[in-house]
Structure 1
């Protein structure tokens, strides 16, 4: 587990292989342990060999096809973060290092000393985007300032890069057209799953209730529907819907 607070910038010094690639990443992360997890641009990778001034890791075909790491060229700089130890401060948000999809920078503008970015997101991630919620962009924890409306033809979100973020990460170098790794907030993912399961349960209950003769006009079906509506109202009020 990570927090989305980039520790340092590493450099891809070597890569080899085909469907499974092996990478040598130069990094100043202090003493490393074999088998530990490191977030590389938001993708969780395992230290397979400790090298002088860095580490080696393998990137599976899944990682190469679903993240920006597949197109990473030797010499490219990357965000690095070691796994968060239990009891440490959670300065960002819960980040698993499991990339959910690729986004594309659509707009970039200055806002005083900060930079505003609008990022297009895959439509299947729209349900997990909520204003004032969190998202990891290339492994960096950011707050969603604005999101596309529910049901919009295209999904997008806006984030603000403050001077500290610009100085400590590579996000300030992003330009329109650049592809980035996205990981949605795991809490939003579970909320969406709970809603899906509750909705299916309600439909099944309603169907079985309609099939039973002599049921009360409301019966269990009405109770489930009222519960669902109350839950949805609370989630909408909290910005999750």
Structure 2
């Protein structure tokens, strides 16, 4: 695993693995993403023929290293949710069935059209993400799934949003900005100082934890400029995904683990 960066710093992909990828990863768009298989941890298989539908695989994973900031080009309401058309620099490299994290929410590419890709957002996802608020022109953080062999420059992000955090405000200290967010109770319970958290899909280091569920992160100017954080105002909701390991640890602690031949729960000695 790559060495940790300073709190809030978006870390670089290794040039040998990432080609020339840019934006939040600090490299230009990557030819490594030109293959189209949305397989378990990326796209190691040969690119399918154009137009071939690829089934979504459930074990896709992201890193929280934002590739680009896209823009919502169209919103269509339907009986089972919303369909979004999103303009993105890498839209021409996608194929139907691939997974893209949109503000950290894993969504499946449906169609492609002239620099845009479309995704459908179901009712359950709308209920727990900012996708319900998107209008035409909304800026969205975008990341394609991790490819096998890539460096894990951020942290493991499933794209399964836990809920909505609330942006409380930002303050500058030199070139660094400190952003405060109010986290949902269940996410705050598994968040640790200097641990990882994904906010609008961005992998960040927890810089401080305070009363009332307040979480502080510190970000560098590059992150501020190359994500949609700079467009946030106090009170705005953001998608939050807590640390994967923390969630599993909490489940073990709360529920215990049954051992063969023994009753009850396992308790720390």
Q: Name the residue aligned to 1:2.
A: 62
2:171 match: secondary structure: strand
SS in 1 for 2:230: helix
Secondary structure of the structure 2 residue equivalent to 1:47: strand
Please say if 1:185 is aligned against 2:243.
yes
CA 163–16 in structure 1, closer or farther in 2 if over 3 Å, else same: same
The runs of 5 or more residues in structure 1 that have no matched partner are: 207-223, 230-241
2:115 maps to 1:53: yes
Q: Per-residue deviation at 1:177?
A: 1.1
Match of 1:96 among 155, 158, 162: 158
Give 1:190 shift: 0.9
* TM-superposition CA deviations, 1:93-136 (whole Å, max 9, x none): 00011110101112321111111011001112221110000010
2:214 match: 156
- 1:83 match: 145
Q: Mean Cα displacement is larger for which, 155-164 or 167-176?
A: 167-176
In structure 2, the partner of 1:165 is: 223
Aligned to 1:133: 195
Q: Distance in 2 between matches of 1:111 and 1:170?
A: 20
Distance in 1 separating the partners of 2:263 and 2:62: 38
TM-score, scaled to structure 1: 0.80
Partner of 2:168: 106
Q: Which has the higher helix share?
A: 1
TM-score by length of 2: 0.72
CA distance in 2, matches of 1:165, 1:192: 30
> 1:199: Cα distance to partner?
7.4
Tell me the equivalent position of 2:8.
none
Q: Distance between the aligned counterparts of 1:101 and 1:128, measured in 2?
A: 14
Partner Cα distance (1:53, 1:15) in 2: 16
Q: Tell me, which stretches of 5 or more residues in structure 2 are unaligned?
A: 1-60
- 1:28 matched to 2:67? The reply is no
Q: Which runs of 4+ in 1 moved over 4 A?
A: none
Distance of 1:77 and 1:103 partners within structure 2: 18
Residues paired across the two proteins, number: 205
